[in-house]
């Protein structure tokens, strides 16, 4: 919560609290004035910390050969707020394969046997709701999807 950041010394957030409380906390309040107001009024107000949307990075398109173990990698995904991310991989096109872990940062799968080059498409979404707003999802807790295409060639 935003008030926790103020308690830790982030005085730049006090004007934000002032706007969120319709001026009940003055913009030039100090930390103790802000936290005293919060202590006396917290039952009436929920002041969340602003949340930036995380960014999913599924990686660059790849080529594999039938039977290969293919590694997907979402580790380049990020969150400006430095919240811990959860991962969701979904196959959106191509011959169906089984991912080793649909919620892992680096799932794998076995490339299917094909007679002609075949494209498999996967979508990655990341979510930071596990650490934001005490686990309450927000409109910005889920990333926009990022896709990766894996071209599987015959042996």
pLDDT in tens, 60-102: 999 999 999 999 999 999 998 888 899 999 999 999 999 999 9
Percent of the chain exceeding pLDDT 70 equals 88
Distance, CA of 46 to CA of 8 (rounded, Å): 18
Question: The tokens 């686990």 sit on which residue?
Answer: 135
Q: Residue range 126-132: average pLDDT?
A: 69
Task: Please give the class, per CATH, of domain 62-153.
Answer: mainly beta
> Beta 86-93 vs 62-65: how paired, if at all?
unpaired
Q: Kind and range of the H or E element at 86?
A: strand 86-93
Structural domain boundaries of the chain?
Answer: 2-41, 62-153
Q: Residue range 42-48: average pLDDT?
A: 65
Residue 17 near residue 47 (C-beta atoms within 8 A) = yes
Q: No. of H helices and E strands in the chain?
A: 3, 6
Give residue 59's region: left, alpha or beta (phi > 0; psi -120 to 50).
left
Give residue 28's region: left, alpha or beta (phi > 0; psi -120 to 50).
alpha
pTM (predicted TM-score) = 0.67
Distance, CA of 72 to CA of 10 (rounded, Å): 38
């Amino acid at each position: 919560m935003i008030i926790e950041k103020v308690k830790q010394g982030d005085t730049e957030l006090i004007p934000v609290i002032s706007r969120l409380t319709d001026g009940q906390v003055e913009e030039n309040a100090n930390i103790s004035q802000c936290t005293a107001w919060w202590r006396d009024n917290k039952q009436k107000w929920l002041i969340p910390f602003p949340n930036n949307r995380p960014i999913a990075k599924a990686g660059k398109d790849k080529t594999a050969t039938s039977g290969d173990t293919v590694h997907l990698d979402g580790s380049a995904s990020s969150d400006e707020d430095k919240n811990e991310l959860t991962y969701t991989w979904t196959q959106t096109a191509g011959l169906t394969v089984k991912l080793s872990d649909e919620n892992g940062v680096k799932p794998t799968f076995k490339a299917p046997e094909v007679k002609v080059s075949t494209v498999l498409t996967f979508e990655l979404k990341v979510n930071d709701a596990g650490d934001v707003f005490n686990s309450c999802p927000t409109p910005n807790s889920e990333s926009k999807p990022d896709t990766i295409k894996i071209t599987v060639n015959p042996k």
